[in-house]
Chain A
């Protein structure tokens, strides 16, 4: 297929019929020829507004220019100076609503494939010899709570500034939502492990199996363990349920449970791995965000014959990335728009058998700025299901806030933190990511982690002098 200057060079993907049967990565990545061609589409604007669309402010035209001229070491260096997780962000960022939305090309043509190029450079970097080890040059120890996107980025940035950093992770492996939530076919664990390896080479220590708020208190990190500052990146891991009848039936689970069993615990390798996950023939996933797309596409790979998304609003209000939605359609996922679940019905043994729904129509805009779904009277119907997976959102985990005094949260349970610095209501305690914003994106969490790292550096410097 000839490449066209007016169009974004398409990402090569695996055949939908083949890929929907395994957990191998869907996107294959650009070839060198693709990458150079795509990089040459960049107009190198005098005032690159794409950079403003990036939460970590990657100097986008600079790295793309380096790709165009074939200088991949320079491209990698530029990327990494702004974003400690380029191989991850290049895969999971919603570029269409961030950098690429701002691209000047979009006035007449497709935007430059910034995300695809970021991935290309980061993947090239992974084929190179590992970076040299570095050791911290400063004496103030910093603790990061949670090894998810915001914590990893914050730790990486602090290590670059010379601080000895320890990340405390509650689970047995680091990565947070990148490990338990995002499936292998979208973000291979080898990529995640490599990015974490880079942080370790920079001198970051990762301690798993420690729950701050349970194993150690936040105050003890300062008083007993000698940390000078703390960053909280505990995410929004608490799954929400609908509160409709039948949610305790067997076969009904949160998307977090479904995805954790498969991604973190490798349920797809059962019985080789020990954690099972039972997936029936018909799986209905409720919700239409990225987590819902991950869950519904995972169910196909686990052997579901029919994988459905049930969403009370319409296609237009869905919050999933465009690419995930398209991939789901290609793989045969069916979408029930304007469909509101009312009740889950089960058999005598207590297993879910059908989902009772109601047809909706769109009304005026609600508080979220999206059209409010309104029930259509008498439109109830049933969908036969074996599993119902709830992907209707998550809220911050209260483990830490329940056991820490003086840490303010808002009515939704999110930590109160300064928008620019991430400073919480406690001195020298900073926070960022979903724990502050509620469930959002990897890159917003990364941006918050990076800003907090800079603010921590300033706060510590001000204290010394």
Chain B
């Protein structure tokens, strides 16, 4: 059980939560995730750790409403409790120090850059965050990230803020030496299609790139193998071997196909939740 201390709507479909979770906050590291469950009979879902405060014993997560469970999470407010929160799970991101680290955040993925960029900046790396969204209103946590990065680059598809175009287009410019310059390491967190595009952007230039995979998971502790990702031709468990993997080794075709296994059931659950909400409104 974890009490929610603070919530904030970031966009119509994303919400920020600060939780009272002292044990998890004490051991969390960038790149790790937690599993949540919000009700009896509820499913377990993985959520990337956005930030943590060891002294205060708090954990920050950002949840995007994509299915019935994330909708239920986003209906919670400060003072409510989340039934089950377990973590930190997965392996932390490890990057050798001293280089130029570029974090690429797409949509809600920007949230996970908070603790990540903070760690690299604090130890003396040069850091750039590239944040992207369709338009200005959908960008999240830009101001929160600024104190933790040397450079923050904003991209919008419609040009309503910052660079007009995709994060990958701006990243390609950096790789070519423009702006803050060629990164030594890229970490991409966001939708699968974006992470795949990032992998393609850095592949030829041989910029070391990590992606934070977000496969279907049941337990999150290595027990089911449902989260297996094909990396370099081999099956790896995202929950223990990952969730971050070498982007140039990940088979995104397999990963994207596997993530669609339960699309029909996910839609059914969403419709059911909407029906229930409609009934209760009457």
Spell out A's residues near B (CB within 8 Å).
170-172, 180, 208-211, 214-217, 237-239, 241, 247-248, 250-251, 253-254, 256-257, 260-261, 264-266, 269-276, 278, 349-350, 397-399
Contact = CB atoms under 8 A, between A and B. Distances in A.
B184 interface: no
B93 to A, nearest CB: 15
B240 A239 contact: no
Contact of A253 (B24, B27, B69, B225): B225
B193 interface: no
B222 A398 contact: yes
A167 to B, nearest CB: 15
Contact of B88 (A215, A254, A264, A397): A215
B133 to A, nearest CB: 29
Given A214-B88, A256-B224, A248 B254 contact: yes
A171 B254 contact: no
Contact of B257 (A216, A256, A350): A350
Interface in B203-232: 218-219, 221-226, 228, 230
A276 B265 contact: yes
A241 B39 CA distance: 32
A273 B257 CA distance: 24
Contact of A399 (B221, B224, B254): B221
B159 to A, nearest CB: 37
Q: Which 10 A-B pairs have the closest CB atoms?
A: A276-B265, A257-B224, A273-B41, A274-B43, A209-B86, A237-B223, A172-B84, A350-B257, A275-B43, A254-B225
A172 B82 CA distance: 12
B192 interface: no
Describe A's contact surface by its main secondary structure.
loop
Given A274-B68, A276-B265, A399-B240, A171 B219 contact: yes
Contacts of A171: 86, 219, 221
Contacts of B228: 241, 248
8 contacts: A170-B86, A172-B83, A214-B27, A215-B24, A215-B86, A241-B225, A274-B269, A275-B218
Contact-size category for B: 35 or more
Given A269-B41, A271-B265, A250 B257 contact: yes
Given A250-B261, A399-B221, 14 more contacts: A180-B219, A211-B86, A211-B87, A215-B27, A238-B223, A248-B230, A254-B225, A260-B219, A266-B41, A269-B41, A271-B272, A274-B69, A275-B43, A350-B254
Interface in B145-196: none
B94 to A, nearest CB: 14
Contact of B89 (A211, A250, A256, A273): A211
Given A253-B225, A260-B223, A278 B37 contact: no
A210 B265 CA distance: 30
Given A250-B261, A274-B42, A209 B221 contact: no
Contact of B222 (A238, A271, A276, A349): A238
Contact of B87 (A180, A214, A271, A398): A214
Contacts of B258: 248, 250, 350
B274 interface: no
Interface in B77-132: 83-89
A424 B269 CA distance: 47
B44 interface: yes
A257 B225 contact: yes
Contacts of B39: 274
A215 B262 contact: no
Interface string B6-23: 000000000000000001
A438 B187 CA distance: 37
A278 B262 contact: yes
B235 A208 contact: no
